[in-house]
């Protein structure tokens, strides 16, 4: 990637200018239009009397109960502060009166006032005198022209009567080149915010936008389309367990290569796919057309006697034994699984499970998933089919009910719906299904990550092979797609679907061993 490309320089410059603009905006908002500002907020507004319409019960003792006019009394704590950027002098107050500000308590009458200030601002108290306008009348409290350095504040504890708590409290007055306004609610003695909410929001949004823009452009994927994109039509057949990978990789290949190639995904099972490829190749050879545009995916190696088929190791596929959730077992030994599939276990209670009859839900004979199960776990074939609907026993002499279905999706759906059912599936599809769960075998989980890390000897796994009839031409769609699938962007799709690509450092070792 070219870091000093024009688009990257533009993106970085945009980010820098955006951040500078954000800082200038904040400076302007804080310094230019509101260089001097007095903020105020009500930190407490509590009822004292029983007649205050606050909906809260009160109990009084001492002066609160003995003094007159206390039945509807309220107590307000008002904080007034310099939350601007510059100090405020006595001459900065613009009102014609002796005092500087007026606090108005709507619908209430002032009965008494107490002034407090921080210990480091004792000089503020000298300004609260009658000669400087400090006093009250009815609902108005006159506040002197108190000079305030940046961050200085004082508090007014006001005893009121004749109104409800929560009524409006406002501070009236003016400042030269400034303003008086309420600030945010806060706990007592909190510092006022450095920036207003609007300034913070706009600054954050603008900064995020420009930084994201720069990141997108700088980190964008400049990977060119796959080298050797080919046109034409290709058929992918074989494994139904690997079909989700094939569909996604085919769509990605068509998109990356401009949509000119057409790739059909038509799986019918590993064995059926191998036979279809062999038949297409034989016909192409008779017609003198060379390797046909067909790739067959198989869960495991091809049958013997087909020397014309050329193998490509693509991935390690992990499969799972699945049981209906009513079978609460989580782990079976390989020996128990073999006894199940020999018909020796007729009820799950024989293995410590619930009192449910065993239903064996299997795949048809063309299934690579079934062949892997028989080769890697059972060490032999399964017993004869005894049911068409997986529920009723058609052969009364059979030890257990066993049925065969055409696809992995059918197996998962039947196992999920039938209490006592057990079946097998490609791992990723099983993990997404509801109503069933996968089993550990000899304590090892069905986990691609554990197998890749070398921490699991889980046996129900197999190499995924891609077969072609002979070696297709280097510039053919079949050759290009296989390279894309096994060594190109298809590797990410393979891993996303829970398989282990053969052409990664870890996958090379695993695929060479299996």
Full 3-state SS string of 462-503: EEEEEEEECCCCCCCHHHHHHHHHHHCCHHHHHHHCCCEECC
Given this model, what pLDDT does residue 92 score? Answer: 92
Structure tokens at 447: 């986990």
284 contacts 254 by C-beta, under 8 angstroms: no
Given this model, what pLDDT does residue 199 score? Answer: 60
232 contacts 261 by C-beta, under 8 angstroms: yes
Given this model, what pLDDT does residue 71 score? Answer: 77
Given this model, what pLDDT does residue 298 score? Answer: 93
* Spatial distance between the Cα atoms of 418 and 513, rounded to a whole number of angstroms: 38
Please give the model's pTM, rounded to 2 decimal places.
Answer: 0.52
374-404 in b/e form (b: 16+ CB < 10 A) is bbbbbeeebbebbbeebeebeeeeebbbbbb
* Spatial distance between the Cα atoms of 448 and 499, rounded to a whole number of angstroms: 7
270 contacts 239 by C-beta, under 8 angstroms: yes
Given this model, what pLDDT does residue 88 score? Answer: 92
Strands 359-363 and 401-405 turn out to be parallel
Tokens 């799986």 — which residue?
267
Q: Measure Cα distances from 315 to 63, 178, 421 in Å.
A: 86, 72, 29
Strands 294-299 and 233-238 turn out to be parallel
Q: pLDDT under 70 in the chain at which residues?
A: 1-11, 14-15, 18, 21-34, 50-60, 62, 65-66, 69, 185-203, 205-206, 209-210, 212-228, 259, 514
Question: Which SS3 state, helix, strand or coil, does residue 343 take?
Answer: coil
Given this model, what pLDDT does residue 132 score? Answer: 93
């Amino acid at each position: 990637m070219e870091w000093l490309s024009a688009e990257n320089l533009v993106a970085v410059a945009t980010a820098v200018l955006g951040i500078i603009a954000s800082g200038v905006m904040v400076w302007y908002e804080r310094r230019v239009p509101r260089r001097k500002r007095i903020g105020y907020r009500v930190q407490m507004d509590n009822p004292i009397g029983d007649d205050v319409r606050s909906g809260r019960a009160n109990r009084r003792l001492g002066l609160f109960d003995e003094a007159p006019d206390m039945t509807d009394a309220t107590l307000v704590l008002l904080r007034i502060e310099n939350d601007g950027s510059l100090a405020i002098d006595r001459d900065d107050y613009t009102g014609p009166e002796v005092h500087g500000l007026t606090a108005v308590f709507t619908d209430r009458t002032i009965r008494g006032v107490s002034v407090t200030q921080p210990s480091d601002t004792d000089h503020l108290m000298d300004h609260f005198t009658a000669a400087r306008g400090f006093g009250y009348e009815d609902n108005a409290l006159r506040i002197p022209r108190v000079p305030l350095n940046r961050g200085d504040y004082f508090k007014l504890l006001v005893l009121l009567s004749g109104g409800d708590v929560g009524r409006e409290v406002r501070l009236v007055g003016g400042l030269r080149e400034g303003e008086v306004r309420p600030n945010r609610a806060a706990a007592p003695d909190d510092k006022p915010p450095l920036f207003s909410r609007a300034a913070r929001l706009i600054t954050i949004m603008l900064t995020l936008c420009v930084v994201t823009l720069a990141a997108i452009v700088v980190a964008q994927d400049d990977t060119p389309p796959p080298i050797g994109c080919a046109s034409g039509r290709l058929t992918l057949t074989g494994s139904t367990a690997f079909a989700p990978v094939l569909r996604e990789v085919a769509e990605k290949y068509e998109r990356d290569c401009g949509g000119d190639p057409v790739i059909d995904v038509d799986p019918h099972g590993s064995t059926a796919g191998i036979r279809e490829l062999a038949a297409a190749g034989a016909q192409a050879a008779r017609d003198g057309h060379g390797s046909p545009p067909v790739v067959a995916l198989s869960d495991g190696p091809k049958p013997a006697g087909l020397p014309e088929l050329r193998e490509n190791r693509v991935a390690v596929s992990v499969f799972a034994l699945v049981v209906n959730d009513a079978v609460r077992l989580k782990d079976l030994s390989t020996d128990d699984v073999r006894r199940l599939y020999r018909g020796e276990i007729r009820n799950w209670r024989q293995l410590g499970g619930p009192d449910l009859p065993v239903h064996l839900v299997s795949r048809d004979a063309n299934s690579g998933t079934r062949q892997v199960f028989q080769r890697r776990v059972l060490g032999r074939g399964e017993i004869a089919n005894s049911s068409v609907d997986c529920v009723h026993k058609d052969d009364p002499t059979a030890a257990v009910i066993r049925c065969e279905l055409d696809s992995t999706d059918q197996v998962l759906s039947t196992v999920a719906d039938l209490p006592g059912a057990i079946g097998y599936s490609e791992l990723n599809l099983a993990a997404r299904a509801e109503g069933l769960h996968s089993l550990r075998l000899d304590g090892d989980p069905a986990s691609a990550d554990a197998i890749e890390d070398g921490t699991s000897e889980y046996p129900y796994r197999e190499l995924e092979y891609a077969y072609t009839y002979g070696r297709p031409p280097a510039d053919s769609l079949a050759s290009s797609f296989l390279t894309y699938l096994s060594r190109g962007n298809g590797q990410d799709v393979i891993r996303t679907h829970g398989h282990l690509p053969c052409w990664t450092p870890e996958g090379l070792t695993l695929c060479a061993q299996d």
